[in-house]
């Protein structure tokens, strides 16, 4: 494959198959859900999806191709995931929640695919294809919104089995305060240690200074108190040592 047109046709084939899978998925969701609103939303979008398949026929023809399909691995994966969760023997509430989550993921996948296809068709100056694909995109966006609203209306015992997580969350909230206190104490201890080391160095330096003074005084000739006193004073220009 080396042209944008080939890539576009390939992706149209993918969506042609995705829409056929969507008809089956929406039918399944309609059967699985007890809430009338979800059943209505699923049935309505299934009818829309049948229209979207016909619309894709027109898109193929508008760009001079024959309608054809290839397996859409993306939505196949979403449906496999749905079945995998269902294999964990869900109760009715969780079956509906799983169905709504799958429907929302499905719609968002389609929205992303159509947004990309519209961009490509615009670049290819395929105006009729752009117009048709935009109609489908609007339906997918509206359905995604509707599915999210239905998801948010779900009522069940959300706290059931959550005791462990709540306890963990509380512990996690307290942890930063404890960590802060420990770090402050650690910093305080280190500062105290540094202070003690500095005091030790100061004392050792003072001791060295005193010893040097005594040695100079002992070495100075005893010519009188004035000279001895002068010898014990540091001379101008000499360093006074670390005691300072």
Which residue ranges make up the site for Fe ion (CB under 5 A)? Answer: 19, 22, 49, 52, 110
**Nearest distance, CB of residue 117 and Fe ion, angstroms:** 12
HSE (side-chain half, CA atoms, 13 Å) at 143: 32
| CA dist., res. 209 & res. 242, Å (int) | 8
Two structure tokens written together for 110:
């389609």
Nearest-approach distance from CB 92 to Fe ion, in angstroms: 27
How far out from the chain centre does Cα 170 lie? 22
Degrees, nearest 5: CA angle 82-84-87: 110
Closer of 30 and 110 to Fe ion (Cβ): 110
Angle between the N-to-C axes of helices 73-86 and 92-123, in degrees from 0 to 180, rounded to the nearest 10: 170
SS3 assignment for 123-191? HCCCHHHHHHHHHHHHHHHHHHHHHHHHHHCCCCCCCCCCHHHHHHHHHHHHHHHHHHHHHHHHHHHHH
**Judged by CB, which is closer to Fe ion: 119, or 194?**
119
Q: Closest CB to Fe ion among 93 and 142?
A: 142
| Distance of closest approach, residue 81 Cβ to Fe ion, in angstroms | 18
Q: Smallest distance from the beta carbon of 52 to Fe ion, in angstroms?
A: 5
The two counts, helices (H) then strands (E), for the chain are: 7, 0
Distance in Å, CB of 87 to Fe ion, minimum: 26
Residue 34 or 138: the one with the smaller Cβ distance to Fe ion is: 138
Which CB sits closer to Fe ion, 138 or 153? 138
Nearest distance from C-beta of residue 19 to Fe ion, angstroms? 5
Q: How far is the CB of 140 from Fe ion (least distance, A)?
A: 5
Nearer to Fe ion, 14 or 110 (CB): 110
Distance CA 244, CA 226 (A): 25
Residue 9 or 144: the one with the smaller Cβ distance to Fe ion is 144
φ, ψ (nearest 5 deg) of residue 87: -65, -10
User: 71: which residues sit within 8 A by CB, 6+ positions away?
Assistant: 17
Given a contact cutoff of 8 angstroms between Cβ atoms, the answer to whether 102 and 79 are in contact is: yes
């Amino acid at each position: 494959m080396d042209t944008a047109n080939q890539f576009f046709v390939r992706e149209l084939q993918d969506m042609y198959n995705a829409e056929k899978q969507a008809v089956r998925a929406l039918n399944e969701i309609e059967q699985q859900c007890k809430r009338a609103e979800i059943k209505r939303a699923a049935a309505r979008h299934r009818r829309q999806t049948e229209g979207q398949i016909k619309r894709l026929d027109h898109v193929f023809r508008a760009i001079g191709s024959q309608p054809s399909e290839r397996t859409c691995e993306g939505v196949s994966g979403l449906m496999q995931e749905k079945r995998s969760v269902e294999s964990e023997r869900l109760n009715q509430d969780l079956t509906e929640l799983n169905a709504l989550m799958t429907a929302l993921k499905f719609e968002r996948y389609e929205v992303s695919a159509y947004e990309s296809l519209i961009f490509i068709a615009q670049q290819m100056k395929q105006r009729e294809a752009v117009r048709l694909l935009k109609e489908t995109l609007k339906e997918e966006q509206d359905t995604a919104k509707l599915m999210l609203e239905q998801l948010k209306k779900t009522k069940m015992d959300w706290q059931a089995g959550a005791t462990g997580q709540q306890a963990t969350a509380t512990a996690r909230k307290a942890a930063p305060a404890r960590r802060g206190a420990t770090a402050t104490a650690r910093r305080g201890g280190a500062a105290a240690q540094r202070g003690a080391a500095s005091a030790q160095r100061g004392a050792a330096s003072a001791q060295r200074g005193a010893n040097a003074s005594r040695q100079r005084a002992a070495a100075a000739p005893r010519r009188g108190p004035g000279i001895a006193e002068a010898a014990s004073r540091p001379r101008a220009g000499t360093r006074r040592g670390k005691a300072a």
